[in-house]
A and B are shown apart, each in its own frame.
Chain A
Amino acid sequence: MVKINLKILSLLFVCLLISCNNNGNNDKDDLVYWSSNNSYEINYARQLTEEWNKNNLEFKVSFQPVPEGQSSEEIILAAVVGETTPDIYSNMWQGDVEAYAQANVLIPLDTLDGFMEFLYDRCNTSTIEEIRSLDGHIYQIPWKINPIMLIYNENIIRDLSLKRPPKDYSEFLESSKEFKKDADGDGYIDRWFGYAEVQVTWWQRFFDFYPLYLASSGGASLVKDGKAVFNNEHSINVFKFLRTLYKNNYFSKEKLSARQDVFLSRVIATRFTGPWEIMHADNFKTDDFEYNFVSMPVPDDHEGPVYTYGDPKNIVIFNTCKKPENAWQYLKTMISDEGDLQLLNITNQLPRRKDLLENNLFQKYFNNNIKMKVFAQQAKYVKGTDASPVLKEVFDLISQQYEACVVYGIKTPEQAIQDAADAVNLLFLD
């Protein structure tokens, strides 16, 4: 037991670090840009700022990765509280934007000259509507996405009777049944068709319930106009599907992530994951291990495109920025065609733009990275999160019911979804 709350201490320490931090912002016209602290993104941001500073004399941009902490969200919160936010931050989770917008700590970007024209040129209307805040303004630039898809072991799938990765729930369940096995003969299943974390942590639902819900519903919302709108056949079907997977031992209820990679060690045949898996798998797989990606499974009667969660990370300008116009000038180069190509080449993350596959500039990259092309095809059908200041609570409430219904089977899917929706509606009344 700890007598001192570690999180409070770390938050205070982070506040201290940030407040002591000299951003190198010596000239009042200079800008400070924080990127994610992922090493690839650090390289990308460093190159970008060096190029900018070499070619632009009017103002300089100093770059640094977001300070280390338990999570970048926590660091940004500490910076907001301490009023030590950078001018530009490029790794903002879309779900956090609404709360910051309502706290008036972000610049409404649609008030900047030429912003909306640029945005319409870059993104389709549905993306723009998705990022629009509840007050009608736009506080974020859609920057990059990592769509969640189904990774599968090609060697295993070839050996199953279906011969191809499952597309719908029936095929998924059929393949699961065929693959599950007690390999060591101790009376317990130790080969599962897939795996998802069973912990109730709210963001774990980005890798199971939420992308499956978007796939089934064609990208429907969870909350809209201050009330829950997920009490429908899609969420019930997703709960039913996942519940069957756990009930029949097709997915493990145990935490498998603490041991050797269960996908690469062939303990599981599939997993819901994003494009970051490519670099990891290529680094650690054996030579004979083949894998690929397909869209999330959908109900048997599903028609139309298969949507998924895009895990979008966006760019914001904080209101501590003295020259938002300068920040916008810099950002225009960051999200230009060349900037996006650099993002692809250096970080292997997809820019969120409507012409990703049509623009000739990116063709060479996708020809050299065939697996990333699968994600680029999926990128047309991704959704981020709904604009709501209480999104984490919404996911937490769904997650509580997910555990009770899907993992432990003590509630029916109908009851669990109803209870989650009621709890979310109460949240909005508060």
Chain B
Amino acid sequence: MKNTKNKILPYLLVSPYLLHFVLFIAFPVIFSIVLTFHKWNIISPMEFVGVNNYVRLFNDKTFFISIINTLVFLVIHIPLQIIVALFLAEILNQKLKFQGFFRAAFFLPVIVSGVVVTILWQQMYGFDTGLLNRMLVSIGLGKIGWLTDPDVAMVSIAVMATWKNVGLYVVLFLVGLQTVPVHYYEAADIEGATRSQKFFKITLPMINPTIFMVVILSTIGGFSLFIEPYIMTGGGPLNSTISAVLYIYKQGFFYYHMGYAATLGIFFALIIFAVVIIQKKFVEVKN
């Protein structure tokens, strides 16, 4: 009797997670893979279409534009995020008056709803009445189509996303900076090192693991770019801000091309997987 109980108990203990895993991870993934071979608009029965969705994917220019847009966003957003976060963390790591206030202030946008932040920035980016253009005009410069110029719109979104998320990375860098032993800096001071020498020769190498963590977190966050272009530009102008996730969403929940959206989703997941593997290899080599 006791033996049977001992056999059942481990299964009972893992069953809540197992149930969660089966219902919310394994089943959706398997169902999505099955969907990639079907045409389904939710209301009509599924229709088997073989590899048609994959053929369509490789001929879908807009999807590849959306992937390029996402990569462009990452290329702008990640370095900007790291530079700004590190700069702010460096300042906040000094003995400042109202240090607690500044730390809270920089973190505040992180906890504000993404939709609220996006709407706020949309107003600031307005061509005629937006704060930014009013400032530019007041100092004698020309207006910029922050969200209407196809060459500028993605940069505007990246800047806004950086402002929204930078507080989180400031905290991570602060933690990293505080783990650097003070005696390294004291020794450097004795040797007569300048401030920038100390930063590049001591601080940066010492916080390398934090930088990599920030890069990985920003990459994963950047790949899921959705709410900013969805609210601010709808993917325009001229598809210049349509992200891969926004495009998949449009196919799935706008046009109800569930099979095709699943195909795009699986393909995009493979791209993210490849990028993460490359990053992992890079980190291993570095280590």
Given contacts A408-B150, A408-B238, 10 further A-B contacts (CB under 8 A): A1-B221, A2-B226, A3-B224, A81-B43, A201-B234, A253-B148, A259-B126, A259-B129, A393-B255, A407-B237
Binding site for B on A (CB under 8 A): 1-3, 5-8, 11, 77, 80-81, 99-100, 102-103, 105, 186-188, 190, 198-201, 252-256, 258-259, 392-393, 396, 400, 403-404, 407-408, 410, 430
What is the CB-to-nearest-CB distance from A240 to chain B, in angstroms, rounded to a whole number? 19
What is the CB-to-nearest-CB distance from B10 to chain A, in angstroms, rounded to a whole number? 31
Q: Bound state CA distance, A201 and B250, in angstroms? A: 11
Are A1 and B236 in touch, CB under 8 angstroms?
no
Q: Are A1 and B43 CB-contacts (below 8 A) given A200-B236, A258-B123, A404-B238?
A: no
Q: Which of B150, B222, B226 has the most CB of A within 10 A?
A: B226
Q: Bound state CA distance, A256 and B114, in angstroms? A: 22
The residue from A6, A198, A252, A392 contacting B254, defined by CB atoms under 8 A apart:
A392
Q: Are A99 and B255 CB-contacts (below 8 A) given A1-B224, A7-B249, A254-B128?
A: no
Q: Bound state CA distance, A219 and B147, in angstroms? A: 35
Q: Are A255 and B126 CB-contacts (below 8 A) given A1-B225, A102-B44, A393-B255?
A: yes
What are 20 A-B pairs with beta-carbon distances under 8 A? A1-B161, A1-B165, A1-B221, A1-B222, A1-B224, A1-B225, A1-B227, A5-B249, A80-B43, A100-B43, A103-B43, A103-B44, A198-B237, A200-B235, A254-B148, A259-B126, A259-B129, A392-B255, A403-B238, A410-B238
In the bound complex, residues from chain A placing their C-beta under 8 Å from that of B239 are: 400
In the bound complex, residues from chain A placing their C-beta under 8 Å from that of B249 are: 5, 7
B235: nearest chain-A partner, CB-CB = A200
In the bound complex, residues from chain A placing their C-beta under 8 Å from that of B142 are: 187
What is the CB-to-nearest-CB distance from B149 to chain A, in angstroms, rounded to a whole number? 10
The residue from B222, B234, B253 contacting A200, defined by CB atoms under 8 A apart:
B234
In the bound complex, residues from chain B placing their C-beta under 8 Å from that of A254 are: 126-128, 145, 148
In the bound complex, residues from chain A placing their C-beta under 8 Å from that of B237 are: 198, 403, 407-408
What is the CB-to-nearest-CB distance from B54 to chain A, in angstroms, rounded to a whole number? 14
In the bound complex, residues from chain A placing their C-beta under 8 Å from that of B42 are: 77, 80-81
Interface residues of chain B: helix, strand, loop or mixed (majority): loop
Q: Does B32 contact A (CB under 8 A)?
A: no
Q: Which of B138-172 contact A (CB under 8 A)?
A: 142-143, 145, 147-148, 150, 161, 165
Q: Bound state CA distance, A200 and B254, in angstroms? A: 13
Q: Bound state CA distance, A400 and B222, in angstroms? A: 25
In the bound complex, residues from chain A placing their C-beta under 8 Å from that of B233 are: 199
Q: Bound state CA distance, A392 and B251, in angstroms? A: 11
Q: Does B93 contact A (CB under 8 A)?
A: no
In the bound complex, residues from chain A placing their C-beta under 8 Å from that of B56 are: 430
Are B126 and A199 in touch, CB under 8 angstroms?
no
A199: nearest chain-B partner, CB-CB = B234
In the bound complex, residues from chain B placing their C-beta under 8 Å from that of A393 are: 255
B130: nearest chain-A partner, CB-CB = A254
Q: Are A99 and B123 CB-contacts (below 8 A) given A3-B224, A392-B255?
A: no
Are B226 and A186 in touch, CB under 8 angstroms?
no
Q: Does B122 contact A (CB under 8 A)?
A: yes
What is the CB-to-nearest-CB distance from A354 to chain B, in angstroms, rounded to a whole number? 33
Q: Are A1 and B226 CB-contacts (below 8 A) given A99-B43, A188-B128, A407-B237?
A: yes
Are B255 and A396 in touch, CB under 8 angstroms?
yes
In the bound complex, residues from chain B placing their C-beta under 8 Å from that of A201 are: 234
In the bound complex, residues from chain B placing their C-beta under 8 Å from that of A186 are: 137
